[in-house]
Amino acid sequence: MSPYNIKMQAWYPLGHGNIELFENEVLKSTAKKYNKSVSQVILRWHIEEGIIPIPKSTSITHIKENFEVFDFSLDENDMTKIRALDKEVGSHNPDNLSIGETLLKAYKIHD
């Protein structure tokens, strides 16, 4: 948790529709376990990591599915397996707030 209570946002949390992501066996088996889609598992993982996912969709079906992520929780084993998929692209680590902290100090928007 940030000392400034900063929450990270995940823009394109579904990887810009990267097909490889949706074919990942860890994500597919996790989705099957919870009777959810891979997209729902990914969005739920972000939420449980304390990251605010901002998915984009123009499909009413997908928009509805994106909201149906609050009726289940991933167990710690599944969270760990999904964390292990990290390819270190981007800066999704919620503990990596150096840029935010630098901006806070530069603009003095806190005490």
Among residues 110, 52, 40, 19, the alpha carbon closest in space to that of 82 is found at 40
Q: What is the pLDDT of residue 10?
A: 85
Kindly list the domain boundaries of the chain, sorted by start residue: 9-107
Three-class DSSP category at 30:
helix
Q: Say yes or no to pLDDT of 102 above 70.
A: no
Q: Name, in order, each residue with C-beta under 8 angstroms of 52's C-beta and a sequence gap of 6 or more.
A: 7, 8, 9, 10, 46
Which string of DSSP letters, residue by residue, matches 39-75? Answer: HHHHHHHHHHTT-EEE-----HHHHHHHHTTSS----
- Predicted confidence (pLDDT) per residue in 44-81, tens digit: 999 999 989 999 888 999 999 999 999 999 999 999 99
Q: Say yes or no to pLDDT of 92 above 70.
A: no
**Amino acid letter, 87:** K
**Amino acid letter, 41:** V
